[in-house]
Amino acid sequence: MISQSISPQVIHLVAGGCGGTVGAVITCPLEVVKTRLQSSKASIKFLPTPNINADGAVTHVSRRSLGVFQSLKTICIEEGGSALFRGLGPNLVGIAPSRAIYFGAYASAKNFLNTKLEPESSMVHLLSAASGGFISSTCTNPIWLIKTRLQLEHRNGKRYTNTWRAIKTVYSHEGLRGFYRGVTASYVGISETMIHFVIYERIKKFLREQRAYNSDLLSPKDFLTFMGAAATSKSIAATIAYPHEVARTRLREEGTKYRTFFQTLSTVLREEGFRGCYGGLVAHLARQIPNTAIVLVVYELVVYSLNKL
């Protein structure tokens, strides 16, 4: 069998890269909307709404938050449909190695910890997810910073225009250190990954036991099981840990008042209230739930297919 000549680590690297790439392309427009809504400089964050009295005069103009679909429509009208895919280049460059590194580290850590702790226990999944998240965040933060800068640019007043120019601009103005803005928030965000994978593995184990799961013969229902487990676990984890997403985006903005993770959170709370820490949550969930389901289903399918070769 061909799979016997391929190490498990390589299988998980390939599967993770494939899953991440497919998910990134399909959900890119929602990623752009989420990033804009998280930012303090978002051009689509609010829609001015004139209040008109009985005489037809405008009394004042209020601002109401834009929803996901209104945000998508606004970007298309003001900047064109291509704006919904801003940052896709660095996203594709980064997502394959990021997911590959993550799943490779996760699988390696889990194999090691299964020999030291109770096999397939919550602690094994927790520590494995933490290891994968830390290594992946450290290696790929520069890519995500460039992606965020590109997604935050409005059509008017562009500085970067493309990925290479963005890299040169960040390096010339902020140095190497600039590429690691927001990395602390990413480390805090590992808690989301830990929660997600612990719940995911638990749900998957429960559903396997309920359906007398046979690992040698996967059916379409098995992949629907993986998708449901992924969507449920990601929804719970993302909602609990969401404020770190807002802090990370604010830290990656260019020339802002945000300096450190906790200073950013306290500033957002003071100026925008608790609601500010959850700006863009609906867009985030609208993207993350299908994206996570796609990534994990493709991942499980590739692992299964390579193991059957």
| Predicted pLDDT at 44 | 55
Higher-pLDDT residue of 44 and 251 is 251
Q: Residue 46 corresponds to which amino acid?
A: F
Q: pLDDT by residue (tens digit) across 177-218?
A: 999 999 999 899 888 878 887 888 787 777 667 665 555 555
| Predicted pLDDT at 59 | 41
Mean of all residue pLDDT scores within the chain = 79
Query: What mean pLDDT do residues 35-54 have?
Result: 60
CA distance linking residue 154 with residue 152, whole number of Å: 6
Cβ neighbours of 73 (radius 10 Å)? 13
Domain count of the fold of the chain: 1
Task: List, in order, residues 6 or more apart from 108 with CB less than 8 Å away.
Answer: 9, 12
Mutual angle of helices 243-252 and 261-272, in 10-degree steps? 100
Higher-pLDDT residue of 152 and 223 is 152
pLDDT of 230 strictly over 70: yes
Domain holding 163, by residue range, is 2-308
Q: pLDDT by residue (tens digit) across 50-77?
A: 445 455 544 433 444 567 778 888 888 8
| Predicted pLDDT at 21 | 80
| Predicted pLDDT at 179 | 93
Q: What is the CATH number of the domain that holds 177?
A: 1.50.40.10
| Predicted pLDDT at 101 | 85
- The answer to whether residues 72 and 37 touch, using CB atoms and an 8 Å cutoff, is no
Q: pLDDT by residue (tens digit) across 250-302?
A: 998 877 788 889 999 999 999 988 888 888 888 888 887 787 778 777 887 88
pLDDT of 156 strictly over 90: no
